[in-house]
Amino acid sequence: MSGTLGKNTFGQLALMDAMIFFAFAAIASSVLIQSASAPHSPSGETYGEVDLKGILESFLQASVGREIVLSIDQETSIPADAQMAEVLALVVSSEAQGWPNQSASFIEDVLARTLKSLEPPSSDLFLMIYSMDLGNLELSIPRAMPSASNQFAASAIIPGSDEEALLVSMILQPAFLPEILDVRVGDLDLRPCVAFSLREGDQRNDDQ
Amino acid sequence: MRSDIDAVAGFFEDLPVLIYVLSGTLVLASSATWAAQFVSESRDTRSLGHLAESLADKALAEIRNGQPDWHLPTVRSLEGLNLSHLGDDLQGRKFAISITMRHPTEDFVFSAGMGDLNDTISTGFCSRFLNALTDDGLVAILELRVIVWHTR
């Protein structure tokens, strides 16, 4: 098994080495590009620039904004300056108080519209209210539940109408993946503008 | 003469090797340059984002004026705010602050800014929510938006 390596064999070995070097260089550069351009995953109570806890606190503290007249057994009204937190507690206890479904869903619609007005561009906001004692989901606004993936949440505890504390969770679900919104023209980051125009487009589509 | 022929033939035999090595080096160098530039831009955008956040916090502190959280400002008092001095620490960067009412009605409340958007290189954005009292005594939800950018 002895022999000599000819000049041609050396040449082939050198070419193979060069090809292996090129393959490694290509792999290394693709890994480099991929890791550099990977989007930063937002976490906790902020999604990108959105302060979800701030939205929740402002929402709970705000007035309902309009007088809501309910026809239950006698005419009852919720004043315009009632706090959102109080109204939420009232809706949660509506079943126990024997309210007709229509009245509760009317208030839920008002709350859902308010929530809609606070939505960050290209995102959906959901409000889930849980009973602290039983851990049950008492109410979700809007009724459609958020999907399980890509969620960011903030929560607060509010007093219920019958001495029972309620846990209010605000869930933000991006309607578009962050990497799609990472739009640049040259060096200029246009995410806020694009997100805004996408939202405007959505609204126009809804109107049609 | 024989050795010259060998040398020329050797060069052409080594040419594919040279091409592979050179292109590999070029691919590595160009991707490293691109990655370095991209990371530097991202860092710049992130730092502008942090700057926007700190500016928003300063604006909120100015609005609250040392009062506790439960003490709400009125919407009317926000209309006459002067926040132009917040741009003093921005080291040449430009900024714009706006406050809009989101609930119970959609309304413009206030804006302040410094600089135009020509030749913008990168931007940072931040949004904060706060409550304020309307003339009707309702607690409104306001959004404070800050955009910081720098130009060439």
Tell me: the pLDDT tens digits for B41-70?
Answer: 888 888 888 888 889 989 999 898 878 877
Q: How many independent structural domains does chain B possess?
A: 1
Q: Which residues of B touch A22 (CB under 8 A)?
A: 20-21, 23-24, 27
Give residue A48's pLDDT.
54
Looking at residue A149, the DSSP 8-state letter turns out to be S
| Average pLDDT of the segment spanning A203-208 | 43
**Which residues of chain B neighbour A37 with C-beta distances below 8 Å?**
38
- Between chains, do B31 and A62 touch, taking CB under 8 Å as contact? no
Give Cα A108 to chain centroid, integer Å: 20
Contact B38 A188 (CB under 8 A): no
CB atoms inside a 10 Å sphere around CB B25:
13
pLDDT of residue A193: 45
- Angle, CA A202 vertex, CA A199 and CA A207 arms, to 5°: 130
Each domain of chain A, given as residue ranges in start order, spans 46-174, 176-208
Distance from CA of A21 to the nearest CA of B (A): 7
pLDDT of residue A181: 44
Closest residue on chain B to A113 (Cα)? B103
Classify residue A80 by burial, with Cβ atoms within 10 Å: 0-12, 13-18, 19+.
middle
**Res B33 pLDDT > 90:** yes
Q: How many CB pairs under 8 A join A and B?
A: 119
pLDDT (0 to 100) of residue A122: 78
Determine which helix (DSSP H) or strand (DSSP E) holds A129, and give its type and residue range: strand A123-131
Antiparallel, parallel or unpaired: β A137-141 and A123-131: antiparallel
pLDDT of residue B32: 93
Report how far residue A178's alpha carbon sits from residue B122's, in angstroms, rounded to the nearest whole number.
Answer: 18
B28 vs A19: CB contact, 8 Å cut-off? Answer: no
pLDDT of amino acid A180: 42
Q: Which residues on chain A are in Cβ contact (under 8 Å) with B57?
A: none
Q: Minimal Cα–Cα distance from B34 to chain A, Å?
A: 8
The span from the CA of A110 to the CA of A46, in Å, is 26
CB contact under 8 A, A15 and B16: yes
For the cut 60, the answer to whether the pLDDT of residue A199 exceeds it is no
Calculate mean pLDDT across residues A160-176: 81
Is the pLDDT reported for residue B149 higher than 60? Answer: yes
Q: What is the pLDDT of residues A109-119, one digit of tens each?
A: 888 888 888 88
pLDDT of residue A204: 41
Query: Where does residue A166 fall: left (phi above 0), alpha (psi -120 to 50 degrees), or beta otherwise?
Result: beta
Q: Report whether the peptide linkage leading into residue A142 is cis, meaning its omega lies within 30 degrees of zero.
A: yes
Instruction: Kindly report the average pLDDT of chain A as a whole number.
Output: 74
Least trusted range by pLDDT, from A194-208, B9-23, B87-101: A194-208
Residue A195 has pLDDT above 50, yes or no: no
Chain B nearest C-alpha distance from A165 (Å): 21
> A156 burial class (0-12, 13-18, 19+ CB within 10 angstroms)?
middle
User: What's the confidence (pLDDT) of residue A208?
Assistant: 40
**Which of the four pLDDT bands, split at 50, 70 and 90, describes residue A94?**
confident
Q: State yes or no: pLDDT of A95 exceeds 80.
A: no
Question: Which range among A35-44, A115-124, B52-61, B89-98 shows the weakest confidence by mean pLDDT?
Answer: A35-44
| pLDDT tens per residue across span B130-148 | 999 999 899 999 999 998 8
In percent, the amount of chain B with pLDDT more than 70 equals 91
Give the residue with greater pLDDT, A37 vs A165. A165
User: What amino acid occupies position B134?
Assistant: T
pLDDT at A137 over 90: no
CB contact under 8 A, B121 and A188: yes
Check residue A27 and give its pLDDT: 95
pLDDT for the residue numbered B144: 93
* Domain extent for B103: 2-151
Alpha-carbon distance B60 to B129, whole Å?
9
Higher pLDDT pick, B13 / A59: A59
Q: Would the CB atoms of B17 and A18 count as touching at under 8 Å?
A: yes
